[in-house]
């Protein structure tokens, strides 16, 4: 058999294999009904790895200093956004570790609905003004990798149980966010994707 | 040469035009790709795990589909959904294996048992001669390249998923064909591959 024969046969065998694959015809309806609420450890690891790889691609694309100085929002440059994401990666990791250790939070982050935690964001960005772009990407990846590790290692009753977090809509400690740590991990990925989409847009990078 | 799947393009166009809801188009895309996704997974893990991972992959896609970003122009050949599913299968499988490695290490630490070989519990598949030879002779990444290319995943998407160049994907595909050919010519002489491929960057 020559190489072309092998390719032809392989193609036919693969087609038959796919046609015979046993896929649950009701799964899509079940996912829609549950509004995609399923969360497992491989899912969390996969979602976090996806953003890590996306940030690695973004980092590689910022090969000229001038690109990091492009305005990505009305107020922030590309570098500012990366620093913002790095500050949240560290904060999310700290929150998950603190909640997992059943330790109380001695601070709040006022997260005004539809506006966000503007004061906290500005303060954390200011603290990192002197940081290089490489260092910001380093903090971002280290924080995300740490969360990925926690997604695999935390006990079920910690990862999937509701925890009380520092975020609050009105600055009042009694109104702190209460949600499972696994959901906080998903939220981190959603936040990363939200900013990644804008960064790709301004830098003209593929999705 | 690829499996002639129906095109995702009309579903994307209808969704972009607002002619169909996110949920309905999700179910249409599920019908289109549920078998390739199950085939990719069942080639690598045992049936129960493949079913669980398929749920994970489709749930990740469902969430992402709610806020899917469409490009300015939809290109019929681009297959962004197929590419997304291929990448998500790859990443979810990697997460699953990390978890298994941790559990196995914990079990060893507790009981001092010998871990089962990675391939020992894989699905007893009804594979043809070439696919069987591929499973035996090809590395993990070469199998990923083969299954992606045979399903019609764009080479660019395979390259991004595996973190290699498009030419490395091409090279890996050709190398896999050579290995299958050699395995068929001399059955029983090729040792199973477990390590990463020698893909050039």
| Percent of chain A residues topping a pLDDT of 70 | 100
Give chain B positions within 8 Å (CB) of A8.
1
State how far the Cα of B21 lies from the Cα of B12, in Å rounded to an integer.
11
Average pLDDT for consecutive 10-residue bins of chain B (201 residues)? 73 96 98 96 92 98 95 87 97 97 80 46 64 92 95 94 95 95 79 48 39
Chain B, nearest residue to A49 by Cα? B91
- The answer to whether residues A168 and A110 touch, using CB atoms and an 8 Å cutoff, is yes
pLDDT of the residue at B72? 79
How many CB atoms are located within 10 Å of the residue B122 CB?
A: 17
Output the average pLDDT for chain A.
Answer: 95
For residue B5, what pLDDT is reported? 67
CB contact under 8 A, A20 and B126: yes
Residues A10-60 have pLDDT tens digits of 999 999 999 999 899 999 999 999 999 999 999 999 999 999 999 999 999
Q: Is the pLDDT score of A189 beyond 80?
A: yes
Surface of B (72-131) touching A: CB under 8 A: 80, 87-88, 91-96, 98-99, 102, 125-131
From its phi and psi, is residue B152 left (phi > 0), alpha (psi between -120 and 50) or beta?
Answer: left
pLDDT digits (tens, 9 = 90+) for A53-88: 999 999 999 999 899 999 999 999 999 999 999 999
The answer to whether residues A39 and A183 touch, using CB atoms and an 8 Å cutoff, is: yes
DSSP of A160-194: SSEEE-SEESSS-GGG--EEEHHHHHHHHHHHHHH
Using CB atoms within 10 Å of the CB of residue A89, give its burial: 0 to 12 exposed, 13 to 18 middle, 19+ buried. Answer: buried
- Nearest of A159, A65, A75, A186 to residue A125 by alpha carbon: A75
Q: What share of chain B is helix, strand, coil (3-state, %, to 5)?
A: 65, 0, 35
Report the pLDDT value the prediction gives residue B190, as an integer from 0 to 100: 59
Confidence band of A158 (pLDDT split at 50, 70, 90) = very high
Decide if pLDDT at A196 tops 90. yes
Residue B46 contacts A where some CB pair is shorter than 8 Å? no
Report pLDDT for B195. 45
Strand partners, A112: A116
pLDDT tens, position by position, B85-123: 999 999 999 999 999 999 888 777 666 544 444 444 344
CA–CA distances in Å: residue A182 to residues A45, A128, B38, B51: 11, 28, 26, 21
Can you give the pTM of this predicted structure?
0.89
Q: Are B115 and B104 in contact (CB under 8 A)?
A: yes
Of B42, B131, B177, the CB nearest to A3: B177
Cβ contact, residue pair A50, B128, below 8 Å: no
Cβ contact, residue pair B146, A197, below 8 Å: no
> Of A16, A28, A44, which has the smallest distance from its Cβ to B128's Cβ?
A16
Residue B38: predicted pLDDT: 96
Backbone phi, then psi, for A163, in 5-degree steps?
-125, 155
Q: What is residue A31's predicted lDDT score, i.e. its pLDDT?
A: 98
């Amino acid at each position: 058999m020559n190489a072309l024969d092998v390719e032809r046969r392989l193609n036919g065998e693969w087609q038959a294999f796919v046609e015979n694959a046993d896929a649950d015809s009701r799964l899509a309806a079940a996912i829609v009904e549950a509004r995609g609420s399923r969360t497992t450890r491989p899912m969390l690891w996969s979602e976090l790895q996806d953003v890590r790889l996306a940030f690695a691609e973004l980092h590689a694309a910022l090969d000229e200093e001038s690109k990091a100085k492009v305005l990505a929002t009305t107020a922030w440059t590309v570098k500012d956004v990366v620093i913002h994401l790095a500050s949240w990666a560290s904060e999310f990791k700290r929150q998950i570790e603190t909640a997992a250790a059943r330790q109380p939070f001695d601070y709040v982050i006022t997260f005004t609905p539809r506006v966000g935690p503007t004061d906290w964001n500005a303060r954390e960005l200011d603290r990192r003004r002197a940081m290089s772009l490489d260092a910001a990407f380093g903090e971002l990846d280290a924080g995300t990798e740490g969360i990925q590790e926690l997604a695999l290692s935390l006990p079920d009753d910690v990862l999937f149980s509701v925890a009380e977090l520092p975020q609050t809509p009105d600055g009042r400690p009694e109104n702190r966010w209460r949600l499972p740590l696994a959901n906080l991990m998903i939220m981190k990925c959603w936040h990363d994707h939200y900013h990644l989409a804008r960064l790709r847009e301004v830098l003209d990078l593929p999705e | 040469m690829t499996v002639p799947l129906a095109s995702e393009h009309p579903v994307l166009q209808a969704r972009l035009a607002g002619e169909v809801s996110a949920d309905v188009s999700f179910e249409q895309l599920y019908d289109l790709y549920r078998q390739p996704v199950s085939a990719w997974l069942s080639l690598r893990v045992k049936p129960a795990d493949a079913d669980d991972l398929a749920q994970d992959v489709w749930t990740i896609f469902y969430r992402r589909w709610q806020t899917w970003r469409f490009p300015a122009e939809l290109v019929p050949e681009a297959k962004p959904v197929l590419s997304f599913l291929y990448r998500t299968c790859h990443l979810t499988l990697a997460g699953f294996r990390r978890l298994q490695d941790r559990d196995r290490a914990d079990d060893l630490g507790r009981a001092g048992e010998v871990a089962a070989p990675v391939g020992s519990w894989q699905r007893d598949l009804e594979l043809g001669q070439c696919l069987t030879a591929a499973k035996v002779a090809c590395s993990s990444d070469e199998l990923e390249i083969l299954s992606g290319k045979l399903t019609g995943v764009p080479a660019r998407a395979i390259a991004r998923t595996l973190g290699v160049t498009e030419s490395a994907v091409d090279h890996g595909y050709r190398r896999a064909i050579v290995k299958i050919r050699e395995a068929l010519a001399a059955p029983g002489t090729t040792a199973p591959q477990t390590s990463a491929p020698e893909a050039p960057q």
